[in-house]
Amino acid sequence: MLILAYCACTTGGAIYIGDSKNGLRKDYSITGVGINRIFGAINGISIIATMYGNAVIPEIQATLAPPVTGKMFKGLLLCYAIVISTYFSVGISGYWAFGNQAQGSVLQNFMVDGKPLGAKVVSFDD
């Protein structure tokens, strides 16, 4: 549930910032040359799939009753469907909102020079 909430909030924030006047200038050009672009994309996809998707697999496997083969395959499909829908939505909305200058963590892009790009933070001291 926390992953789904994180992805929904981050995607919503990126869309809000990308669509507002507070957003930074965006450059969508792809860096790198030729085959390095392809390997970079494959590397990024594999990191997302293995780091976030495979952590869920032991939990799914522990809850399955025998026979495992069919249920495990369905669990893997469900796991990767969740990974694709959540983390790719964050990646795509972050790239749309911040361009190729997006940081490794999309949340780092929400602050520039110590100031939030989104809605103003209200303090009780005001």
> What pLDDT, in 10s, does the model give residues 54-79?
656 666 666 666 666 677 777 777 87
- 118 three-state secondary structure: coil
pTM value surpassing 0.75: no
As a whole number of angstroms, the distance between CA 61 and CA 78 comes to 12
Q: Work out the average pLDDT over 96-108.
A: 80
- Over residues 38-53, the pLDDT tens digits come to 888 888 777 766 766 5
Q: Please provide the average confidence, as pLDDT, over all residues in the chain.
A: 75
pLDDT value at residue 122: 56
- 28 three-state secondary structure: coil
